[in-house]
Amino acid sequence: GLESGPHAAEADRLRRVLRLREVPHADADLSEAEAGIVTHPEDAGDWLKLGAVLAARGGDTEARDALRAAAERGTADSGGPP
């Protein structure tokens, strides 16, 4: 298989990309995630959802920023860090 050998690292990277792309990421999903941020700007869960949608759409920089915002706002109630 591709778990070892010269192509293992690339196969692993591609599997991670495919897992990211499993998140629903149509325009409507992005709009919904963005609306959650407008409505609840301090909610870590909404920032996490936005980050996941952006990552699935290939927006690495934007996704990283949203995920960082989620971590900064995380609480036990939102499923983020305590």
Q: How confident is the model at residue 25 (pLDDT cuts 50, 70, 90)?
A: confident
More confident residue, 36 or 9: 36
47, 73 in Cβ contact below 8 A? Answer: yes
Distance, in Å, from the CA atom of 49 to the CA atom of 66, rounded to the nearest integer, reads 9
Greater confidence, 75 or 63? 63
Count helices and strands (H / E) in the chain.
4, 0
16's tokens: 């991670």
pLDDT at 24 over 90: no
- Compute the mean pLDDT over every residue in the chain, rounded to the nearest whole number: 84
pLDDT at 20: 67
pTM metric for this prediction: 0.69
The pLDDT-based confidence of 11 (bands split at 50, 70, 90) is confident
CA 20 vs CA 15, 56, 62, 72: distances in Å: 9, 5, 14, 22
